[in-house]
Structure 1
Amino acid sequence: MKPATFAYAKAQSVAEAVATLATHGDDARIIAGGQSLVAMLNMRLSAPSVLIDINDIPGLSDIAIEGDSLKIGALVRYTQALRSPLVAEHAPLLARAIPHIAHAAIRNRGTLGGSVAFADPAAEMPACILALGGSITLSGPDGDREVSADDLFLGLYETALGPSDMLTGLRLPLHTKESRVGFAEFARRHGDYAMVGLAATARARGDGIADVRLAYFSVGQCATRATGAEQALAVGDIEGAVAALETDLDPTGDIHASRDTKMHLAGVLLRRVAAQLSEAPK
């Protein structure tokens, strides 16, 4: 199957892309890496009247420290982020997660901003941004605004982006010597979407941890925080945290795994990630 007919616009600035979005509304789609969108176009799950190519917009491929945040432009590719010393030092959770994403050819083209905007419930990046407590920069007709990751993901492929909004960047808190991160996922084969995955952050406090954030993926309509498990883990109760997942999560069985299997895997991954969060940085 081939895509339905569409017009093509190549934006040279954020303002031009936003103006084109405002003109066409829900009939327009932004394309950057295209690793998800092109497949949807080919299957005619998406049939926009116009594609807006943002690859030539300057500045959106930058990675930089701004104040107390690491800013990652919407066009930063997975491979670029994985090779970035700034990401390795200041956002090591991303460095742990990116090698699990698909295969090299997809990581060479796919963008972090595109993954977050697409909000696939089985994708690693939305969960990582949620676990980090990051924020997302959205540009619209009225200018830029920041949306917390906690407020961005609303449902299945649904986010707080409006029809005229464009995701232009990600802001992540800088990693410190007290920061702890963990990541684990279970997939049938390397490169497959995870059956269940978990991204996590915490802060070292004495002999334990505090400020725990557990973001699961592939267990719901979107990346999901397990708040009950977070509270139990913060007081060192790992088994209590696993038990709390029964309330925190409500996965639906699919062709790969039943609900019970997904819940079992969620607990297994929680134990693994809890061990990672307890490790002192090397």
Structure 2
Amino acid sequence: MYEFKFHRPGTVRQAANLLAKTEDAKIIAGGHTLVPVLKQRLAQPSMLIDISRVQGLGSIEMNGRSLVIGATARHSDVANSPIVGEAIPALAHLAGMIGDPAVRHRGTIGGSLANNDPTADYPAACLALDATIVTNKRRIKADEFFQGLFTTALEVDEIITRVMFPLPKKAAYQKFRNQASRYALVGVFVACRPSEVRVAVTGAGANGVFRATAFEKALKPRFAAESLDGVTASAEGLNSDIHGSDEYRAHLIGVLARRAVQVANV
């Protein structure tokens, strides 16, 4: 490793002040995204700001009709939380499918969202559930938060503090994963909300997570797998690599969307 300064602030304000004062500073919590990048010298920040011990950032609680998850909540916390399991079982299921036990016990929801890896699972949940990402400065709707590969609406001195998930009527997540990395080759999250149906796809898009509007339109009159008969995803704009062609990923979107609706209706 190379030389850098390391700070472990006690509050979000202290962390934000450190972030604002150092142009290339990086936030770290679980470290599953940042540490490999540091090892490969793909990033060489002069300062790391560890927020893993900031009190209150790891909480999971209900606030009215919203499930609120703190930014440093581990994937295993979300997967095993009775609150999440009762409020949005699909979200607990998603968290339990991330990586392996080592990853789930260190990785955080805030880190996953801030990194916005195009194969990550949480972005699909946020987009489908119409989540609000809360930072130290503002609230950002999921539709505006995700802006492309590894790109979000976060400003340089902005830190995710929690995520607010409105409770859906029904929801489910289905994922076809790379057997080596456990990342989503394609993942589809469906959510039937009081006023709309939302379908979000991760892993497939060349520009990251996106909403499958054709599937949403087909499901709105009747939230049933049969409503998707004849509905297909276009291969245009999808990833094509050694793991699967764009046509293959387009096919998987349709298969997984139908499975997700079936699971949501059980």
Q: Same fold (TM over 0.5)?
A: yes
TM range (shorter): over 0.9
Give the paired residue count: 261
Alpha-carbon separation, structure 1, partners of 2:58 and 2:68 = 10
Matched, 1:138 2:138: no
Match of 1:216 in 2: 201
Could you give the per-residue CA deviations for residues 143-180 of structure 1, whole angstroms, max 9, x where no partner exists?
A: x31100111000110000000000111011135xxx11
Could you give the per-residue CA deviations for residues 173-206 of structure 1, whole angstroms, max 9, x where no partner exists?
A: 135xxx11111111242752121111110148xx
Could you give the per-residue CA deviations for residues 35-57 of structure 1, whole angstroms, max 9, x where no partner exists?
A: 11111111111111110011121
Contact kept, 8 Å, 2:81 with 2:92, in 1: the verdict is: no
Alpha-carbon separation, structure 2, partners of 1:88 and 1:163 = 34
Contact kept, 8 Å, 2:201 with 2:209, in 1: the verdict is: yes
Residues 203, 174 of structure 1: CA spacing in aligned structure 2 closer, same or farther, 3 A cutoff?
closer
In structure 2, give the amino acid aligned to 1:72.
I
CA RMSD of aligned residues (A): 1.7
Contact kept, 8 Å, 1:238 with 1:274, in 2: the verdict is: no
Match of 1:275 in 2: 262
Q: Secondary structure at the match of 1:165?
A: coil
More helix by share: 1
Contact kept, 8 Å, 1:134 with 1:172, in 2: the verdict is: yes
Instruction: Please list every run of 5 or more consecutive structure 2 residues that lacks an aligned counterpart in the other structure.
Output: none
Alpha-carbon separation, structure 1, partners of 2:31 and 2:155 = 20
Q: Secondary structure at the match of 2:139?
A: strand
In structure 2, give the amino acid aligned to 1:228.
A
Match of 1:54 in 2: 51
Contact kept, 8 Å, 1:100 with 1:191, in 2: the verdict is: no
Matched, 1:193 2:183: yes
Alpha-carbon separation, structure 2, partners of 1:213 and 1:92 = 17
Alpha-carbon separation, structure 2, partners of 1:67 and 1:55 = 27
The percent identity for this pair of structures is 38
In structure 1, give the amino acid aligned to 2:197.
V
Q: Secondary structure at the match of 1:81?
A: helix
How far apart are residue 66 of structure 1 and its match? 1.9
Match of 1:266 in 2: 253
Contact kept, 8 Å, 2:189 with 2:257, in 1: the verdict is: no
Runs of 4+ with >4 A deviation: none
Alpha-carbon separation, structure 2, partners of 1:66 and 1:185 = 29
Greater mean deviation of Cα atoms: 49-58 or 62-71:
62-71
Q: Secondary structure at the match of 1:44?
A: coil
Alpha-carbon separation, structure 2, partners of 1:34 and 1:149 = 23
Match of 2:106 in 1: 109
Alpha-carbon separation, structure 2, partners of 1:7 and 1:165 = 19
TM-score (ref. length: structure 1): 0.88
Q: Secondary structure at the match of 1:195?
A: strand
Greater mean deviation of Cα atoms: 48-57 or 228-237:
228-237
